[in-house]
């Protein structure tokens, strides 16, 4: 399996995530951690808490619709692994997010920007785990 090198799209996406994170911190004083936002959406502490989380989630899922409007077609998504592999991967990520008290957006983007030692350690753990997983899946298992 080959991974496409998309530096401009990656830079653009990273910039949008960074801007969204800064705007959320400036306007509401909240960390842009996707998992925390999603959890708080289902278990809000107040109606106001639910509203801003719903707005952020709506923005996250409406991206393909924006592409549809401007490009005239939905973006292509090629999933190269089986459904069981996706489920196993999602389960493992869920465990990591639970025990790591956050996800890559909360720790990797916001926490690293705030020089949080906990977030730096969590991001280093994410990255090392990713390197090991990719190596094992591609070179040991040959998937």
* Domain spans in the chain, listed from the N-terminal domain onward: 7-140
pTM for the structure as a whole? 0.75
Rounded to an integer, what distance in angstroms lies between the CA atom of residue 70 and that of residue 123? 35
pLDDT in tens, the chain (143 residues): 567 788 898 899 889 888 988 999 999 999 888 888 998 999 999 998 999 999 999 988 898 888 899 999 988 888 888 899 889 888 888 888 888 788 887 888 888 888 999 989 989 998 998 899 889 988 998 87
Contact between 36 and 57 (Cβ < 8 Å)? no
C-alpha of 109 from chain center:
10
Element at 33 (helix H, strand E): none
- Tokens for 72? 């005239």
Residue with token string 């990713």: 130
Please give the DSSP secondary-structure letter assigned to residue 62. Answer: T
């Amino acid at each position: 399996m080959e991974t496409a090198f998309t530096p401009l799209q990656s830079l653009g996406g990273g910039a949008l995530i960074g801007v969204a994170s800064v705007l959320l911190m400036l306007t509401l004083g909240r960390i842009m951690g996707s998992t925390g936002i999603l959890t708080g959406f289902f278990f809000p502490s107040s109606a106001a808490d639910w509203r801003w989380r719903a707005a952020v989630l709506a923005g996250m899922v409406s991206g393909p619709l924006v592409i549809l409007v401007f490009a005239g077609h939905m973006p292509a998504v090629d999933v190269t692994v089986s459904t069981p592999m996706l489920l196993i991967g999602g389960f493992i990520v869920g465990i990591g997010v639970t025990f790591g008290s956050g996800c890559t957006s909360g720790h990797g983007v916001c926490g690293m920007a705030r020089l949080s030692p906990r977030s730096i350690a969590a991001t280093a753990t994410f990255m090392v785990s990713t390197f090991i997983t990719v190596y094992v899946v591609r070179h040991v298992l040959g998937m």
